[in-house]
Chain A
Amino acid sequence: MVALDFRVRGRFVSSVVGCIVRMVVKLHGAAFAACPRRVAACLYEKNVEFELVNVDLFAGDHKKPEFLQLHPFGLVPVIQDCDLTFFESRAIIRYYAEKYAGQGTDLLGKSLEDRATIEQWLEVEAHYFNEPAFSLAFQVLYAEKLGQEPDLNVIKSSEEKLTKVLDVYEERLSKSKYLGGEFFSLADLSHLPFAHYLINDSGKGYLFHDRKHVSAWWEDISSRPSWKKVLEL
């Protein structure tokens, strides 16, 4: 690939030469899986056309040698966009939000200071929210399907951790309409998949609904057309 890079008003703009017939972006994953959903929500917000290539996670297709060529840890999602292949959902959403800065919803703000605040809350999602949300949803939704007994201690400790995290969110959202500021951004978007699992599939909606500002925030972000389209995938 030959990529020409130049800057317009401080942002990088890339024009890709050598990808003559622009392929539709391929998103390897599964429609029900959280991290591919995070990427799909971003692609819908940015009006980027894509094709979901189904990976059978219950059959373990993501751990087979051909898939490990795409992702060395054997996880979904993986993106193939012309001759660029890469993984990690939060790296993918940052890439598309920046690459198509002028297209669809602006998800990174207008200034470096906006972006820094969005990055801060993206890190909070990744390091504080994600782990207990994943553990809780996994125990409630998938442990039995995978032939394991749900671990009640993990359920309890994850719920305690989430309670503390959502108390911090309640405080933040009492002062700011969205986590990253006054506009919807990647910081909010990144929460959609696991919050959806907890609220709609795991009977843990009270963790969100018991907090006034968190509840209003969830109603707002989950009613976006992009997220509705993700759930129809």
Chain B
Amino acid sequence: MAIKLHGSWMSTATLRVGATLYEKGLDFELVPPFGQVPAFEDGDLKLFESRAITKYIAYKYKEQGTELVGANFSEMPIIGVWMEVEAHHFAGPSTKLVWELCIKPMIGIPVDETVVEEATGKLNGVLDVYEARLAKNKYLGGDEFSLADLHHLPNIRYILMTPKASLFTSHPHVSRWWSDISSRPAWTKAAALSDAAIPKQA
């Protein structure tokens, strides 16, 4: 049975899962969302939570497409650490910036500058740690691209469209890393679909 992804290409969570499916070279059908996006169906299995879905795809289709969770068991804990860092340190402040600077202006809600400044400070501190990590490692999980990198793509993409893009461009190793991971064909494909889905300003 075909894989179904309920969501919208504008959603960061849908993009996270879509990029993973493209890395694995899997066919899927994007269907309109129900409830919280994304929801995912693979045969009888139904899942929500984008990071649980990407992990399932990475393990289930391990032998296919890009290896995303480490070819060796010894790499797994380190990839796991940086997936958790994304979820617990990066996602909080970066999601706040996406909400304040991308979504709110689009739907016409005033931006809360206090939230923006607080999130900017926190994210800058997180990126200082990334800068040190990426000065010594090509990717967050080590020498190879993995889900630890991929999970960051959607939020960074949106923040780079805002005046807070300097958070990333001011960190040279983070910038080098972003250029690398965002030029992957799977991400280019997902990002193009997202571009097409964003309403054009009148």
Contacts and interface: CB of A to CB of B under 8 A. Distances in A.
Interface of A: 1, 3, 5, 12-14, 72-73, 84, 86-88, 90-92, 94-95, 98-99, 112-113, 115-117, 119-120, 122-124, 126-127
A5 B74 contact: yes
Given A120-B49, A123-B52, A91 B89 contact: no
B59 A3 contact: no
A88 B84 contact: yes
A127 B60 contact: no
Given A112-B56, A124-B49, A88 B88 contact: yes
B72 A119 contact: no
Interface string B38-74: 0000000101110111011001100000000000111
A86 B79 CA distance: 10
A126 B83 CA distance: 12
A142 to B, nearest CB: 19
B80 A88 contact: yes
Given A112-B60, A120-B48, A94 B80 contact: yes
18 contacts: A72-B129, A72-B133, A73-B129, A84-B77, A86-B78, A88-B85, A88-B88, A90-B84, A91-B77, A91-B81, A95-B80, A112-B56, A112-B60, A115-B56, A116-B47, A123-B49, A126-B87, A126-B88
Contacts of B49: 119-120, 123-124, 127
Contacts of A91: 77, 80-81, 83-84
Task: Bin the interface of chain B by size.
Answer: 20 to 34
A116 B74 contact: no
Given A113-B45, A120-B47, A95 B52 contact: no
B76 interface: yes
A119 B81 contact: no
Nearest to B78: A86
Given A73-B89, A86-B81, 9 more contacts: A3-B72, A5-B73, A86-B77, A92-B77, A94-B80, A113-B45, A116-B56, A120-B53, A126-B88
B73 A3 contact: yes
Contacts of B52: 116, 119-120, 122-123
B198 interface: no
